[in-house]
């Protein structure tokens, strides 16, 4: 039995009854001589979790033994021992009995209310320890061999490093069961468990019946949980072999908590917390298509088209009851109207219920198709695992149950149909889809054009005709192309090309042409135009005009010959062009630009994506901040609002502050954090996501922090800036950078303070612990362009639902 976090060292400290706070040392262990009484608290080694007695209501005499997060403001119970047998009063004792088991008793009762009921050698060879994973483990003190652990008997909460599923060797089936209510931890009516039949799946049951099928494992997520796609906060590991069928979550970022909770109405919710309270990450089932068999056999559920009946028969099938279908009741499903002679691909779907599916992990996709074609009863096939180009073969040989389609995720399912149906339905579907999407795009573009016209009416910003831009860029020729970023390409317009009377005084200008496949949609484009139209500062890129016609979205702005800052500071050859004086000038210019956005403009603006690739350099190497697609106005012209929340966290990992990445809270201090990272990158000449072989491994900020604490920060400064680099000024800038990247937003200076610190030599405060100093294997790197004159916002980190 593997127990994460279990070490050989043990602290034997007497529990301190009724005390909880800094300065008190708690026991993390129960021994035969040291039981836990009601009023005592057991705290894990790093004080992450606590074990003790609790009641759900202030005036309730019902007492339970449970585990909860020790430092989260609202008590969050994650495990309950005696959930169905509460104690009556405060006379409970949790102790090691004569058989070496952990037992819960009352002073006036001889019969235990709860026991681990494990096979133990003797009482003197047992002790229970609370680990920093939240796992309560009964172990042999000499061999450290685990005898029993709470992770094998979860209640309603799934913790990181806890496995759900079957352990065939130990004969265990680990699953979640809801509380009866928020005030009663007794076993509720809902269960979250892995069904091992066929090809294993995760199910949410209510009253023993399937309520929501989370689906089969696709290699990175359950097929019915698109929100589960791995990110830099946590990832999941699925194991399916002769010993076990399990799923396990692992956190990859320190100082962050994450839990999955099953609640009695039949809802599964994931929450994250960095110490300031829980934030809901996702909640399901909540939509019609989430519920099991919302649409009956051989049909699929689709919520992508508003006002359309969500149930649709699969190609080659028709409603079993036309009357029910007309009344928008799809529960009866569909029946085949013709035989099958070929296959049609259904893209981005939640594959059907795999309880009766057949799996062969040795077959390729081509072999899978051949196997299905040979068997007349085979109705559909797909890959078992969608990663690495597809692995294994899944086939169905009967009705296809509980399918739905997604907008931008999902697997490809190959459905058996006859040739006539295939041709007819594909033609009809293509026409309908094209017509609908054309209407939607036209409506959005017309609305955007009207809004942009209103927003820019009193500015110098002009709407430019597409034909003019095509002519000026020689039809977007390669010879005019300056570079390419995540959101599209940038083109140079030569001197002498005129837009409405030689716009921009005949000077060189650049055209940013957004790709129709880019992540920046019409809203981000509109946001960038309307914000930049209201701004004017020497350290901000000047936008001259824009174009929205058909599927084209373009920005016309001043041409900056020295491209983006990242093309210089991260290039060993080009970096020699920058001495310390020029680097310091760039740092101060960027700081002045951010200060203008935060304080000196008539609107308080938070950029939200400040990084080296979003700072452009003019012919004198003077910095100008660009890319305002993700910027947000807060507080209006009154300027009294300093922070806001968002449902959609966007930006580049490595530059994002912890409160923004984890909770969706962005503020002026979020930009300060990004500036701090950028300042340190300029001084050191490496990206923040550079990995250093420290113990534990760290990124650039983490490595610098360790050097700072040892008084060796100057060792990491880029040597290409020359021998005349003023050490005191560089060291001061390093300290300012570390002040900007402190973990808590309240500790960071505002930009007016940063500008003041850069401009004088007064005493600086000592920085506190920075955030995100450890490297994680699942973190996405900043893939900013190193060629384009303007860059894009490449990485969407996470979606935070429910704010």
Residue range 228-257, pLDDT digits in tens: 765 667 788 999 999 999 999 888 877 788
Say if residue 30's pLDDT is above 90.
yes
Whether residue 146 contacts residue 137, with contact meaning beta carbons closer than 8 Å, is answered with yes
Higher pLDDT, 602 or 256: 256
Which tens digits make up the pLDDT trace of 758-778? 999 889 999 998 976 654 433
Q: Is 512 annotated as a binding residue?
A: yes
Query: Which residues are CB-contacts of 698 (< 8 A; sequence separation ≥ 6)?
Result: 691, 692, 705, 706, 773, 774, 775
Is residue 436 situated within a structural domain? no
Is residue 433 situated within a structural domain? no
Question: Are residues 657 and 532 located together in one domain of the fold?
Answer: no
Look at residues 402, 417, 432 and tell me which one is the last residue of a structural domain: 417
Question: Are residues 34 and 118 located together in one domain of the fold?
Answer: yes
Is residue 425 situated within a structural domain? no
Strand ranges inside 184-278, DSSP E: 184-195, 201-206, 209-216, 234-240, 244-251, 257-263, 267-273
State the pairing for strand pair 462-463/543-549: parallel
The rounded distance, in Å, linking the Cα atoms of 677 and 654 is 8
Is residue 435 situated within a structural domain? no
The predicted pLDDT at position 649 comes to: 55
Look up residue 363 and give its two tokens.
């077959």
Look at residues 253, 286, 319 and tell me which one is the last residue of a structural domain: 286
Question: Are residues 739 and 594 located together in one domain of the fold?
Answer: yes
Most confident of 14-18, 322-326, 657-661: 322-326
Question: Are residues 128 and 23 located together in one domain of the fold?
Answer: yes
The predicted pLDDT at position 2 comes to: 45
The label of the residue with tokens 């809802």 reads 267
The rounded distance, in Å, linking the Cα atoms of 182 and 179 is 7
Closest by alpha carbon to 672, among 574, 771, 540, 603?
A: 771
Question: Are residues 622 and 571 located together in one domain of the fold?
Answer: yes
The predicted pLDDT at position 197 comes to: 94
Which tens digits make up the pLDDT trace of 540-574? 988 888 888 777 888 888 888 888 999 999 988 88
Residue 725 burial (CB count, 10 A): 19
How would DSSP label each residue in 407-473?
A: SS--EEEEEEE-HHHHHHHHHHHHHHHHHHHHHHHHHHHHHHHHHHHHHTTTSS-EE--HHHHHHHT
State the pairing for strand pair 299-301/279-284: unpaired
Residues 567-578 as b or e (16 or more Cβ within 10 Å = b): bbbbeeeebeeb
Closest by alpha carbon to 624, among 556, 684, 564?
A: 564
Question: Are residues 613 and 736 located together in one domain of the fold?
Answer: yes
Say if residue 800's pLDDT is above 80.
no
**Which range among 2-6, 136-140, 270-274, 684-688 shows the weakest confidence by mean pLDDT?**
2-6
How would DSSP label each residue in 356-395?
A: T-EEETT--HHHHHHHHHH-TT--EEE-SB-STT-BSEEE
Closest by alpha carbon to 455, among 374, 539, 525, 542?
A: 525
Question: Are residues 605 and 743 located together in one domain of the fold?
Answer: yes
Is residue 422 situated within a structural domain? no
Closest by alpha carbon to 131, among 235, 246, 51, 17?
A: 51
**Which range among 67-71, 90-94, 577-581 shows the weakest confidence by mean pLDDT?**
577-581
| CATH value at residue 592 | 1.10.510.10
The predicted pLDDT at position 501 comes to: 35
Question: Counting beta carbons within 10 angstroms of the beta carbon of residue 398, is it exposed (0 to 12), middle (13 to 18) or buried (19 or more)?
Answer: middle
Q: Which domain holds residue 497?
A: 441-558
Is residue 434 situated within a structural domain? no
Question: Are residues 262 and 304 located together in one domain of the fold?
Answer: no
Look at residues 153, 177, 200 and tell me which one is the last residue of a structural domain: 153
Which tens digits make up the pLDDT trace of 150-182? 999 999 999 999 999 999 998 999 999 999 999
The label of the residue with tokens 């960027």 reads 590
Residue 277 burial (CB count, 10 A): 12
Look up residue 185 and give its two tokens.
């931890």
Question: Are residues 328 and 411 located together in one domain of the fold?
Answer: yes
Question: Are residues 185 and 255 located together in one domain of the fold?
Answer: yes
The predicted pLDDT at position 304 comes to: 78
Catalytic residue among 184, 353, 609, 718: 609
| CATH value at residue 459 | 3.30.200.20
The predicted pLDDT at position 557 comes to: 83
Is residue 446 situated within a structural domain? yes
| Counted domains in the chain | 5
User: Can 412 be counted among the known catalytic residues?
Assistant: no
Q: Which residues are paired to 576 by β-bridges?
A: none
| CATH value at residue 133 | 2.90.10.10
State the pairing for strand pair 163-167/172-174: antiparallel
Question: Are residues 352 and 478 located together in one domain of the fold?
Answer: no
Closest by alpha carbon to 401, among 340, 315, 332, 310?
A: 332
Average pLDDT value over all residues in the chain? 82
Q: Give percent helix, percent strand, percent coil of the chain, each to the nearest 5.
A: 25, 30, 45
Question: Are residues 480 and 504 located together in one domain of the fold?
Answer: yes
Is residue 430 situated within a structural domain? no
């Amino acid at each position: 039995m593997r127990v994460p976090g279990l070490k050989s060292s043990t602290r034997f400290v007497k529990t301190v009854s009724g005390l909880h706070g800094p300065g008190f040392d708690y026991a993390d262990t129960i021994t035969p001589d040291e039981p836990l009484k009601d009023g005592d608290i057991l705290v894990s080694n790093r004080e992450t979790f606590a074990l003790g007695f609790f009641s759900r209501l202030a005036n309730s005499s019902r007492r339970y033994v449970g585990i909860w997060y020790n430092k989260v403001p609202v008590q969050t119970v994650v495990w309950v021992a005696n959930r169905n047998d509460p104690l009556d009063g405060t006379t409970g004792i949790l102790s090691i009995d004569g058989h070496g088991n952990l037992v819960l008793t009352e002073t006036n009762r001889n019969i235990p209310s709860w026991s681990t009921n494990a096979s133990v050698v003797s009482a003197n060879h047992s002790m229970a320890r609370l680990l920093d994973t939240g796992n309560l483990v009964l172990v042999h003190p000499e061999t450290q061999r685990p005898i029993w652990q709470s992770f094998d008997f979860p209640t309603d909460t799934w913790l990181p490093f806890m496995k759900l599923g079957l352990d065939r060797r130990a004969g265990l089936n680990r699953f979640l069961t809801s509380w009866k209510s928020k005030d009663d931890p007794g076993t509720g009516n809902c269960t979250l468990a892995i069904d091992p039949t066929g090809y294993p799946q995760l199910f949410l049951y209510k009253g023993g019946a399937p309520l929501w099928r989370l689906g089969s494992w696709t290699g990175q997520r359950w097929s019915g949980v698109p929100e589960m796609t791995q990110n830099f906060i946590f990832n999941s590991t699925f194991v399916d072999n002769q010993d076990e069928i399990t799923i396990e979550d692992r956190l990859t970022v320190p100082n962050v908590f994450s839990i999955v909770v099953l609640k009695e109405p039949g809802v599964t919710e994931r929450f994250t917390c960095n110490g300031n309270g829980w934030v809901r990450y996702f909640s399901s089932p909540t939509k019609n298509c989430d519920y099991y068999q919302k649409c009956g056999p051989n049909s699929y559920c689709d919520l992508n088209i508003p006002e359309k009946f969500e149930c649709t028969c699969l190609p080659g099938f028709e409603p079993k009851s036309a009357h029910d279908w007309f009344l928008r009741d799809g529960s009866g499903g569909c029946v085949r109207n013709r035989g099958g002679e070929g296959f049609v691909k259904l893209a981005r779907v939640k594959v059907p219920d795999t309880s009766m599916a057949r799996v062969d992990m040795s077959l390729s996709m081509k072999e899978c198709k051949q196997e299905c074609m040979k068997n007349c009863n085979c109705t559909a096939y797909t890959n078992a695992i969608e990663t690495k180009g597809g692995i294994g073969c899944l086939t169905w040989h009967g009705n296809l149950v509980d399918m739905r389609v997604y907008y931008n995720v999902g697997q490809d399912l190959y459905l058996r149909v006859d040739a006539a149906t295939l041709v007819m339905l594909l033609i009809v579907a293509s026409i309908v889809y094209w017509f609908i999407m054309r209407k939607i795009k036209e409506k959005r573009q017309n609305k955007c054009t009207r809004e942009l016209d209103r927003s820019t009416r009193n500015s110098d910003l002009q709407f430019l005709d597409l034909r003019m831009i095509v002519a000026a860029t020689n039809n977007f020729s390669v010879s005019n192309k300056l570079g390419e970023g995540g959101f599209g390409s940038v083109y140079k317009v030569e001197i002498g090309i005129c837009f409405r009377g030689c716009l921009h005084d005949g000077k060189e200008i650049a055209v940013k042409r957004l790709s129709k496949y880019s992540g920046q949609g019409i809203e981000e484009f509109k946001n960038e135009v309307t914000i930049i139209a209201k701004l004017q500062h020497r350290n901000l890129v000047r936008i001259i005009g824009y174009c929205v016609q058909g599927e084209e979205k373009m920005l016309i702005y001043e041409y900056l010959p020295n491209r983006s800052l990242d093309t210089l500071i991260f290039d060993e050859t080009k970096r020699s062009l920058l001495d310390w004086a020029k680097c310091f000038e760039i740092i101060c210019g960027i700081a002045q630009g951010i200060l203008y956005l935060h304080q000196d403009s008539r609107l308080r603006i938070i950029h939200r994506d400040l990084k080296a690739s979003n700072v452009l350099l003019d012919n004198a190497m003077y910095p100008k901040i660009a890319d305002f697609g993700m910027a947000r106005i807060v507080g209006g012209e009154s300027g009294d609002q300093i922070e806001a929340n968002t449902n959609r966290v966007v930006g580049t990992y490595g530059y994002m502050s912890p409160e923004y990445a984890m909770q969706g809270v962005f503020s002026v201090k979020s930009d300060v954090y990004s500036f701090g990272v950028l300042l340190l990158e300029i001084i050191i000449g490496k990206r923040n996501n550079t990995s250093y072989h420290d113990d534990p491994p760290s990124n650039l900020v983490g490595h610098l922090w360790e050097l700072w604490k040892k008084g060796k920060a100057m060792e990491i400064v880029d040597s290409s800036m020359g021998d005349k680099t003023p050490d005191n000024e560089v060291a001061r800038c390093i300290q300012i950078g570390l002040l900007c990247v402190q973990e808590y937003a309240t500790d960071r200076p505002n930009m007016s303070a940063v500008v003041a610190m850069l401009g004088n030599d007064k005493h600086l405060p000592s920085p506190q612990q920075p955030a995100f100093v450890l490297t994680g294997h699942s973190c996405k790197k900043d893939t900013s362009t190193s060629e384009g004159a303007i860059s894009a916002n490449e990485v969407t980190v996470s979606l935070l639902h429910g704010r």
